[in-house]
Amino acid sequence: MKLSPRFGASLKRISPTRCSHRSSRESNVRANTNELNARATTDGTFAHVPTLTRIARAIALEGCAIIHDVTRKGELGVKDKGGSSTSSGAYVADAQTEADRRVECMALRVFRELAPGVRVVAEESSEDEISPTDYERDLNSKEKMMTLAFARDAFVGENDEMWAPALRKPIASDRVTVYFDPLDGTNEYASGEREAITILCGIAVDGVPVAGVVGQPFYNYRAEASAGARLERVVWGGLGAGVFGLDVAANASRPALPPNGPHVVAVNRNTRENRQEPVLEALRSRVDVRISATGYHYLLLLERRAHSALMLRKASKKWDTCAGEALLRATGGVVTDTVGRRYNYAYNVNALPNLSGMTASLDAALHCEMTTIIRDVIAPLGEYPYDVDDPSIKVGILDQTRTPEGGWRAVTVDVGGCLIEPSERVADVYARVAADLGANHVTPVSASKDFKDAFAKYRGRDEPGAMRYYGDGKTFWRKVVRHVLAGGAETSGFVSDATVEAMLSALYDYYESPSSWYVAQGALEAFDRLRKAGIKVALASNWDSRLPKLLDALGVTPHVDAIVVSAIQGCEKPSREFFAAVSRDVGVAPSATLHVGDDAVNDVAGASAASFAAAVLWAPLPLDVSLRASDFHELADALIVANLRERRARGVAMGDENERVFF
């Protein structure tokens, strides 16, 4: 995707990505929703991640221009700020600091104006290098006001459909933290590696990096003389969206994954770290890059020029890693501490350094195996990282769970609200379909409430103990549709049967289309990893009989061992009978099975009552307890690593063919 020119009156709207099959009416609804979401970002109470990302992209472009400007006026600087104390607090007007300060002042002002409720943790202000009065003063100039206008308007015509559904709606601002580094890698710039400089902006929701923007001001500087080439690039993306702006040449080298080639890594230039060599040896790594710039390392991984980046000791902070972690997650990669634990990016100014190191890889499976090996190598060489009390280490999903004897042998997964969720808000779909039938009184607000009420209230038959779905589920859905059309009224005589049937039919068509559903990021790859590691995967869902066909259309079926659906099985969650059927179909005892789902009663209580070994709630918050998950790769890591340790505890040595895939 090409980025729009800065400040251009001819600023091009980027056309919506995937809506050619939509009616114009639907596009209008979407455009209005986008506009509402954008406005929500500015009211201080809610944040909207796609809008924040657009703002960050505009900031990155302007930041590149500022850095170019400072560079034109003289050398950017040679001062090694990383190794020196910043305790004096006095502003030193050397060129390097000038660029850092100007970019950060601009960014803080833009965020404060356009996303006032969102907390921004930025490097220079966090280290007392600049104060709010600095950015007040600097932003009075005409140029900076143009920056604000640009940031507000840039990319606004973009459709938000590409993002994970959870990010398309406004999110309470206090769940969001933005990490900003105005200039990463300045020391490398001094040694002639201009490409190493990046502007980093990561957006975390509930402590998880979900969107990232990396501006690289001198991306193309070796080719600067060639006609038409832009000097900078802005790489951006996030959960569900993937990554844009990489602009990788078609003939770029892409090392094969080990063992078909060496493990290619990037490390810092100066590492006072005696464990690095043994680790690199154990991983049979080839060091292609020795540059001290975290943002640049992430770009290398995103471009597939290296498999992993290793910093075994504390050498990065949250603003160095948040943006890159979001981008890597969006493309199947992962970032953890030295031994595979995830960091928590929730707002906490006392937990900014990544105390127990940082490792990143372009592939989650490779990373899990790599960090397991690192753990084995460094354990005899000293306690680190276990001897540091790192408040930002996220509690692991299975940290407080005993691994079954013989290890985990199956995981059963809820479908609705866990593996898949509607691409578009249900209330918006109902309101649109109703309006198309002339029922204009149904609004997204009324549909939201009435749908929820009806969903909880009705069953598929009017008898005690009736299930929700029988057969194709129409006996239940007809009641829901009638309830929504009647505006929630108990007596709904004025809603004609013909209208109910027409709406039911339109909704059935809509929800049978795979484009109406979003499959959780990384889920299918994680299922493959689990199955390769000897852990079976089954889907366990309260759904009508159409589910298997939908899962086929979504490409899910080949990635699982069994699919159990309530309407087909004749019993539903949370009954013991249903979970017994699941265990039977997957062929694994409940005592060696973990269930994950988004419903506390149907999934967690149901599986627990059926003697499953553990039940994990699929939910983003809170991060400081175990048995919660919102990322399938993280869940797969927890199960696979638990099994490796269980085998070790039984005296089975690492090195088994099944355990080592990459190394």
Pick out residues in 309-368 that bind Mg ion (CB under 5 A): none
Provide the total of helices (H) and of strands (E) in the chain, helices listed first.
22, 21
Phi-psi region of 596 (alpha: psi -120 to 50; beta: other; left: phi over 0): beta
* Nearer to Mg ion among residue 98 and residue 414 (C-beta): 414
> Closest approach of Cβ 572 to Mg ion, in Å?
12
Tokens of 222: 């070796």
> Closest approach of Cβ 520 to Mg ion, in Å?
12
> Closest approach of Cβ 591 to Mg ion, in Å?
23
Q: What is the 3-state secondary structure (H, E, C) of 245-297?
A: CCCCCCCCCCCCCCCCCCEEEEECCCCCCCCHHHHHHHCCEEEEEECCCHHHH
Q: Identify whether the C-beta of residue 472 lies closer than 8 Å to the C-beta of residue 437.
A: no
**Distance, CA of 490 to CA of 505 (rounded, Å):** 23
Give how many residues touch Mg ion by CB under 5 A: 4
* Nearer to Mg ion among residue 414 and residue 585 (C-beta): 414
* Nearer to Mg ion among residue 318 and residue 468 (C-beta): 468
Closest to 431 in 3D by CA, of 442, 446, 423, 445: 442
**Distance, CA of 207 to CA of 394 (rounded, Å):** 9
> Closest approach of Cβ 603 to Mg ion, in Å?
7
* Nearer to Mg ion among residue 450 and residue 598 (C-beta): 598
Is there binding between residue 416 and Mg ion (CB under 5 A)? yes
* Nearer to Mg ion among residue 151 and residue 615 (C-beta): 615
Of 194-202, 378-386, 416-424, 573-581: span binding Mg ion (CB under 5 A): 416-424
According to CB under 5 A, which one of 303, 414, 450, 634 is a site residue for Mg ion? Answer: 414
Q: Is the dihedral of CA 635, 638, 642, 644 positive or negative?
A: positive
**Distance, CA of 64 to CA of 183 (rounded, Å):** 10
> Closest approach of Cβ 646 to Mg ion, in Å?
29
Q: Site map for Mg ion, 153-192, x if CB under 5 A? A: ----------------------------------------
Q: Identify whether the C-beta of residue 406 lies closer than 8 Å to the C-beta of residue 304.
A: no
Is there binding between residue 487 and Mg ion (CB under 5 A)? no
Of 5-13, 415-423, 517-525, 604-612: span binding Mg ion (CB under 5 A): 415-423
Is there binding between residue 417 and Mg ion (CB under 5 A)? yes
Is there binding between residue 255 and Mg ion (CB under 5 A)? no
> Closest approach of Cβ 536 to Mg ion, in Å?
20
> Closest approach of Cβ 598 to Mg ion, in Å?
4
Residue of this chain nearest to Mg ion (CB atom): 417
* Nearer to Mg ion among residue 30 and residue 595 (C-beta): 595
Burial (CB < 10 A; 0-12, 13-18, 19+), residue 457, is exposed
Interacting residues of 369 by C-beta distance below 8 A, sequence separation 6+: 659, 660, 661, 662, 663
Of 345-353, 406-414, 527-535, 631-639: span binding Mg ion (CB under 5 A): 406-414
* Nearer to Mg ion among residue 181 and residue 599 (C-beta): 599
**Distance, CA of 596 to CA of 123 (rounded, Å):** 38
> Closest approach of Cβ 206 to Mg ion, in Å?
19
Which residues on adjacent β-strands are paired with residue 421?
A: 518
Q: Identify whether the C-beta of residue 537 lies closer than 8 Å to the C-beta of residue 648.
A: no
> Closest approach of Cβ 415 to Mg ion, in Å?
7
Closest to 241 in 3D by CA, of 529, 525, 17: 17
Pick out residues in 556-615 that bind Mg ion (CB under 5 A): 598
User: Cα-flanking dihedrals φ and ψ of residue 352, to 5°?
Assistant: -80, -40
Binding site for Mg ion (CB under 5 A): 414, 416-417, 598
